[in-house]
Structure 1
Amino acid sequence: MNVLTLNTHSWLENQPLEKLHQVADQIIKEDYLLIALQEVNQRIDSLPITTDNNFHPTAEQFPVHEDNFAYLLVQYLKEQGYHYHWSWAYNHIGYSIYHEGVALLSKQSIQPEAVVISTEKDPANYRRRVLLIGQTKLDDKPITALSCHYSWWLDEHEGFSYEWQQTEKVLQSYTSPLVIMGDFNNPASAKQTGYELVLSSPLQLQDSFLTAEKTIGEHTVEKAIDGWGDNQEKLRIDYIFTSKKLAVNNYQIIFNGKNTPVVSDHFGVSATIQ
């Protein structure tokens, strides 16, 4: 069962439609069952649309616009004969002109929930963060999937630490195995910060990079990018964490300019889960 996570950087990229098609080509090639996307943007001034039955709204769904990156991706995939259920949750205003959010795509139907986990609640503030939680299936097995885009580490009470505590509280009520994917903005190389909080969580999670039988690649950021303007290191900040009852066979970095083109300022992460 192949899964994928990618911070798309969507309309901030050069030639974004070409890169959207490259993402779709990889999805078709690997036939992913579950996909988590971050920085899924739409222009504030573009037109809202009426979505079809494959879109699964949250309880207080923010309107989806005609240029929503996930919407266009799903439509393109449909044109190629690949059908995905999907959901999108709004995080905040980005770069003054975008509604920025996170998305989940699944071959199976999704029961979504969007939960604000940040101390900041103002929808216009870039510090507002929302979890998109989807109850779905990998093949015939129920799972709880998350697409998430967390804040940076600030201290033990703000930023990532607070957001992760809220994540743990929310997920206590979910009983199926967890697949948590996204941009955590906390490097695996940093000790006693966000990454360590996740590994020591009572949710009993495993890092697919560490537990996979076979790994290809490691880092998801290799230069200065938005939010990491002074970075000069190779960082692993995009993850696929799963419940320990799930086995991870393969882990691979994609969209890194090697076997797959670069489509974003982040590389993608894929895994094969049993």
Structure 2
Amino acid sequence: MNILTLNTHSWLEEQPLEKLQQLADQIIKADYEVIALQEVNQRMDSLPAISTHNFHPTEKQQPIHEDNFAHLLVQRLQEQGHDYHWSWAYNHIGYSIYHEGVALLSKQPIIPEIVLVSDTTDPNDYRTRVILIGQTKLAEQSITAVCCHYSWWLETGGFKHEWQKTERALQHHTAPLLLMGDFNNPPSLAKTGYDLVLNSPLQLQDSFLAAAEKLGEHTVEKAIDGWGANQEKLRIDYIFTSPELAITDYQILFDGKQTPVVSDHFGVAVTIK
């Protein structure tokens, strides 16, 4: 069973509709069971969507607009004969014009929940962050899938605080955990966010370390938004799982090698046995 996570940088890329189709093409090719997407944007001034195929709303759902990146992706997949259930959660205003959020897609129905992990609730503050928790299935296995887009370690009220709230939100979930997304904390920064995750009472494994086969490692290779001074290769996008989910393969995608570049982040795909 194949899993994918990608920070899409949606609508901020050149030729975004072409890249949307390239993402859809790869989803169809690899037949992913569960997908986590971050920076899933819609313009604040765009019109509400008339219909949303297989959409599972959260409590107090922010309305879906017709240009919502995940909405259009699901539409394109459906047009090519591939049905996905999906949910979308709003984080904050991005670049002054977007509702920016996170999305989960699954081949099976999703029971979604939004959990606020930041101190601030102000949508004008980029530090306002939620996680999107989805109860769904991998084949016949019930799982708790979580789409995450966290703050940086040095940010005031940043990753440490957000991770502690994440742990509290997930501590009573009995289904195996699948945490995916942009964590903004590379392993190279010792004793920071990455170590908090690996030493968490949630008992998570890093799919990169757990995988028997690996193709690629880093998900950022240049200066990008939030890492403007970056001069090195970084691994900040992750798929963490409960240890009972056996990882056989780990692969970096959308890096311009076997798959085209579609974002300022590369994607991470894993195969779960």
The equivalent of 2:233 in structure 1 is 234
- Does 1:217 find its partner at 2:211? no
2:262 aligns with: 263
Distance 1:186 1:4 in 2: 19
1:47-80: CA deviation from partner (whole Å, max 9, x where unpaired):
1124345100001100100000000000000000
In structure 1, C-alpha distance between the alignment counterparts of 2:50 and 2:115, rounded to whole Å? 23
Residue 39 of structure 1 aligns with which residue? 39
Deviation at 1:120, TM superposition (A): 1.2
Partner Cα separation in structure 2 for residue 189 and residue 197 of structure 1: 13
Q: Which amino acid aligns with 2:234?
A: L
Deviation at 1:119, TM superposition (A): 1.1
| Secondary structure at 1:39 match in 2 | strand
Aligned length, in residue pairs: 273
User: Does 1:24 find its partner at 2:30?
Assistant: no
CA 1:256–1:138: 2 relative to 1, 3 Å: same
Q: Which moved more, 1:201-210 or 1:116-125?
A: 116-125
Aligned amino acid, residue 59 of structure 2: A
**1:34-56 superposed Cα distances (whole Å, 9 cap, x missing partner):** 00000000000001124345100
Amino acid at match of 1:226: D
Q: CA deviation at 1:216?
A: 0.3
In 1: Cα distance, 2:59 partner to 2:50 partner: 16
* CA distance, structure 1, for counterparts of residue 117 and residue 123 of structure 2: 12
Q: Distance in 2 between matches of 1:69 and 1:128?
A: 20
Counterparts of 2:54 and 2:238 in 1: how far apart (Å)? 26
Deviations 1:194-236 (A, max 9, x none): 0000000000000000000100000000000000000000000
2: distance between equivalents of 1:236 and 1:91? 23
1:63-102 aligned at under 5 Å gives the runs 63-102=63-102
Q: Percent identity?
A: 72
Q: How many angstroms apart in 2 are the aligned matches of 1:6 and 1:53? A: 21
Distance 1:131 1:183 in 2: 11
Q: TM-score, normalised by structure 2?
A: 0.98
1:142 matched to which residue of 2?
Answer: 142
1:171 partner letter: L
Q: In angstroms, what is the RMSD of aligned CA positions?
A: 0.9
**Is contact 2:219–2:266 with CA below 8 Å preserved after alignment?**
yes
CA contact (8 A) 2:52 2:71 kept: no
Give the equivalent residue in structure 2 for 1:272. Answer: 271
1:203 pairs with 2:235: no
Q: Describe the shift of the 1:27–1:234 C-alpha distance in structure 2 as closer, same or farther (beyond 3 A).
A: same
Match of 2:184 in 1: 185
Quote the residue 1:7 is aligned against. Answer: 7
In the aligned structure 1, how far is the partner of 2:10 from the partner of 2:52?
Answer: 22
Distance in 2 of aligned mates of 1:58 and 1:123 = 17
SS in 1 for 2:231: coil
Alignment of 1:152-171 (within 5 A): 152-154=152-154, 158-171=157-170
Take 2:43 and 2:157, find their aligned partners in 1: how far apart are those partners?
A: 29
Within 1, Cα distance between the matches of 2:173 and 2:58?
Answer: 17
Give the counterpart letter for 1:131 in structure 2: I
Shift of 1:131: 0.3
**What is the CA–CA distance in structure 2 between the aligned matches of 1:174 and 1:225, rounded to whole Å?**
35
Residue 172 (structure 1) shift: 1.2
Matched with 1:176 is 175
**Under a length normalisation based on structure 1, what TM-score does the superposition of the two structures give?**
0.98
Q: How far did residue 103 of structure 1 move?
A: 0.1
Hey, what's the Cα distance between the residues in 2 that align with 1:229 and 1:123?
23
| Aligned counterparts of 1:78 and 1:248: Cα–Cα separation in 2 | 28
**Aligned partner letter, 2:162:** E
Counterpart Cα distance in 2 of 1:53 and 1:174: 28
In the aligned structure 1, how far is the partner of 2:186 from the partner of 2:241?
Answer: 18
1:237-252 correspondence to structure 2 within 5 Å:
237-252=236-251
Any gaps of 5 or more consecutive residues in structure 2? Answer: none
1:113-136 Cα offsets, whole Å, 9 max, x none, are: 011100111122111001000000
Deviations 1:251-274 (A, max 9, x none): 000000000000000000000012
Residue type of the alignment partner of 1:206: Q
